[in-house]
Amino acid sequence: MSIADIRPALRTFLLADSAVAAAVGGTRIYPVVLPQGQVLPSVVFARISGLGDHHMQGASGLTRPRMQIDAWARTADEASTLADLVKFRLDGDRSPMGAGAAQVQVQGVFFDSERDDYDSESKLFRVSRDYFIWWEER
């Protein structure tokens, strides 16, 4: 039995939102790192940590990763606007993510924290927000 993966489902879920998709040109959502020379604005997501859930009978089948979602742009305002679009799509959501065999059942998405950053080497702005996503991994 294979265990589902929230990461491709998260990307599909974000791109299904017309405002997010329009802001990132319909494709610019990447796992872990922003590709060098990438068109902006773009979104990068990474699993920062994960925590399983247990009850008296053992594993419950629920997991709660902390997902960091970064909005990258050439201006602070543009990065903030994109980060807000992502937050409006995710925070409080309880619907399935992904499609077909890659679909996962989400019990809840919860905004946790945020940070603003500027990368002086690339001259790019970033708004980084963390979300907990409770989902059924089996």
> pLDDT exceeding 70 applies to what percent of the chain?
88
Non-local (6+) Cβ contacts of 65 within 8 A are 6, 47, 48, 49, 50, 51, 132, 133
Residue 24 lies in a domain: yes
Residue 34 lies in a domain: yes
Domain of residue 103, CATH code: 3.30.2000.30
- Which of residues 4 and 116 earns the better pLDDT score? 116
Residue 59 lies in a domain: yes
Count of domains observed in the chain: 1
Strands 58-63 and 29-31, sheet pairing: unpaired
Range of the domain at 21: 6-136
| Three-class secondary structure of residue 72 per DSSP | strand
Q: In angstroms, rounded to a whole number, what is the distance separating the alpha carbons of residues 16 and 83?
A: 16
Residue 1 lies in a domain: no
| 74-118 per-position pLDDT tens digit | 999 999 999 999 999 999 999 999 888 888 889 999 999 999 999
- Which of residues 55 and 97 earns the better pLDDT score? 97
**Cα-Cα-Cα-Cα dihedral sign, residues 113, 116, 119, 125:** positive
Residue 64 lies in a domain: yes
Residue 100 lies in a domain: yes
The pTM score is 0.88
